[in-house]
């Protein structure tokens, strides 16, 4: 017997149930409207009337008291305000001991290390606080924004704060010329062909570079930008022209290009892009590259094993030149290899795993360069722990049982998220493949 009539019957029955339910709900609403307000509605109305009467009486009483004695009326109003304030939850003030405890470093800095590891810290309440926040997480290097990175207009740098920044760096023995790596605004696109937008981007760029020199910072990192559909070579020329102009307007700060993940028209996902810009820069002593591990992995440069890492670094040396490698952003990846998505993950939890970062911190070519964490964090303890984790990896071969155990532990913690990312990527790939097949079939069917 065919099951088709049964399915049709089931659908019809479900439709009847839906219609019946909708009809009953409409009828109930109509009946409620005909009967007038509900008991609950009457109670609410009564409460409103009582409240209004109380407020009216209070106001009348106050007006009478004002006529008799303004001071007494004021006291009564103040008493009412106090009663209202007491009903609100009050924020508990921190004691001096609690404030002192918060100011204490979460973990101490490790002196004398060749590998300068740190994190991208906040400048809230003054740029000088970036130094304090870096020390708080045990960093021997740090990154920061020089101003709000999500708006064009910003106040001028506070010179008193700048003086404190320089003093704090000196006090903490942090070399701002070599181990501090500010990050540029995400709004800037020096490749833009539109004259007005290019000027806006350049003004932001040169303002940042001048802030660096006021603070005594020697490196400045930013994203190259997007072609916005124009020819790649033209876009690279626009960027190089802006760099050359900025170098003439400043004295010593080095402009450090960042490699990108490869999405859309973004510039910098290939080493060739970076080399193309550098080749057009006049003063090559003032241009460099910051290699982001997550971006490189997403763009198709493998780092997961010693062999893969060395191959990628050789490619970088052949195409760009290791002499231009000025800094690293240390990030795991939430997405699989070659996904072209810029999604940072905590160290060891992502698709890179702990091994590439062990290799990085044992690569002598990277000594005395800022190695900056940009990993997700809910509080500063995350970065403090990751700084110590990376420092712990220094000197390890990767075969020690404690290292292998730590790598497995971190990998297990990120397993569920990696599984979801893999499923998403496979679904996306299948959808793209289907679309390409459909397009190919459509093209084949067209007459010649």
pLDDT digits (tens, 9 = 90+) for 93-122: 767 555 555 567 789 999 999 999 999 999
Among the listed residues 109, 120, 211, 329, the single catalytic one is 329
Mean pLDDT of 403-431: 94
Q: What pLDDT was estimated at residue 25?
A: 52
**Tens-digit pLDDT profile for residues 318-350:** 999 999 999 999 999 999 999 999 999 999 999
Beta carbons of 196 and 233 less than 8 angstroms apart: no
Beta carbons of 414 and 348 less than 8 angstroms apart: yes
Q: How far apart are CA 328 and CA 301, in angstroms?
A: 15
Express as a percent the part of the chain with pLDDT over 70.
Answer: 73
Q: Give yes or no: 183 in active site.
A: yes
Among the listed residues 88, 91, 150, 399, the single catalytic one is 150
Q: Give yes or no: 263 in active site.
A: no
Q: Give yes or no: 332 in active site.
A: no
Could you give all domains of the chain from N- to C-terminal order, each with its CATH number? 114-422 (3.20.20.150)
Beta carbons of 330 and 311 less than 8 angstroms apart: no
Express as a percent the part of the chain with pLDDT over 90.
Answer: 69
What is the pLDDT of the chain when averaged over all its residues? 84
Residue 21 above 60 pLDDT?
A: no
Residue 80 above 50 pLDDT?
A: no
Mean pLDDT of 392-413: 98
Percentages (nearest 5) of helix, strand, coil residues in the chain? 55, 10, 35
61 band by pLDDT with thresholds 50, 70 and 90: very low
Q: Give yes or no: 186 in active site.
A: yes
Q: Give yes or no: 374 in active site.
A: yes
Q: Phi and psi at residue 323, in whole multiples of 5°?
A: -65, -20
Residue 82 above 80 pLDDT?
A: no
Number of neighbours of residue 68 by Cβ within 10 angstroms: 9
Q: Give yes or no: 179 in active site.
A: no
Q: Give yes or no: 272 in active site.
A: no
Number of helical (H) and strand (E) elements in the chain, helices listed first:
16, 10
28-58 as b/e: b if 16+ CB within 10 A: eeeeeeeeeeeeeeeeeeeeeeeeeeeeeee
The Cβ-side half-sphere exposure at 277, using a 13 Å CA radius, reads 32
Beta carbons of 116 and 141 less than 8 angstroms apart: yes
Q: Give yes or no: 408 in active site.
A: no
Nearest to 335 by CA among 431, 425, 427: 425
Q: What pLDDT was estimated at residue 55?
A: 47
């Amino acid at each position: 017997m065919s099951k088709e009539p049964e399915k049709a019957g089931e659908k019809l029955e479900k439709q009847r149930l839906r219609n019946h339910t909708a009809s009953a709900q409409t009828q109930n609403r109509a009946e409620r409207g005909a009967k007038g307000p509900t008991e609950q509605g009457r109670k609410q109305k009564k409460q409103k009337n009582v409240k209004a009467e109380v407020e009216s009486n209070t106001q009348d009483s106050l007006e009478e008291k004002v006529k008799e004695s303004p001071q007494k009326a004021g006291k009564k109003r103040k008493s009412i305000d106090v009663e209202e304030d007491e009903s609100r939850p009050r924020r508990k003030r921190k004691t001096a001991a609690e404030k002192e405890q918060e100011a204490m470093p979460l973990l101490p800095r490790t002196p004398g290390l060749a590998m300068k590891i740190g994190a991208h810290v906040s400048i809230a309440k003054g740029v000088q606080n970036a130094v304090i926040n870096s020390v708080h997480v045990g960093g021997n290097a740090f990154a920061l924004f020089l101003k709000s990175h999500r708006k064009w207009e910003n106040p001028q740098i506070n010179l008193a704060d700048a003086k404190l920044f320089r003093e704090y760096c000196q006090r903490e023995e942090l070399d701002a010329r070599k181990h501090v790596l500010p990050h540029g605004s995400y709004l800037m696109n020096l490749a833009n062909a539109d004259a007005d937008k290019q000027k806006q981007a350049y003004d932001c760029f040169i303002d940042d570079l001048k802030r660096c020199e006021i603070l005594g910072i020697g490196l400045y990192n930013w994203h190259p930008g997007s072609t916005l559909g124009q020819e790649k070579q033209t876009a690279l020329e626009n960027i190089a022209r802006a760099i050359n102009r900025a170098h003439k307007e400043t004295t010593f700060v080095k402009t450090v290009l960042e490699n990108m993940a490869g999405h859309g028209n973004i510039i910098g996902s290939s080493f060739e892009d970076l080399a193309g810009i550098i080749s057009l820069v006049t003063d090559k002593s003032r241009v460099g590259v910051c290699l982001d591990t997550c971006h490189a992995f997403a763009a198709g440069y493998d780092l997961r094993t010693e062999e893969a890492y060395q191959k990628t670094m050789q490619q970088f040396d052949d195409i760009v030149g290791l002499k231009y490698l000025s800094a690293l952003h240390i990030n795991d990846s939430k997405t699989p290899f070659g996904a072209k998505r810029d999604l940072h993950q905590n160290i060891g939890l992502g698709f890179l795993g702990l091994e590439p970062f062990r290799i990085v911190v044992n690569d002598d070519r990277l000594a005395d360069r800022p190695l900056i964490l940009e990993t997700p964090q809910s509080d500063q303890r995350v970065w403090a722990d990751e700084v110590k984790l990376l420092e712990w990896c220094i000197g390890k071969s990767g075969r020690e049982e404690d290292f292998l155990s730590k790598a497995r532990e971190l990998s297990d913690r990120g397993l569920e998220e990696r599984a979801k990312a893999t499923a998403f990527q496979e679904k996306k790939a299948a959808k793209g493949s289907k679309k390409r097949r459909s397009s190919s079939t459509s093209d084949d069917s067209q007459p010649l």
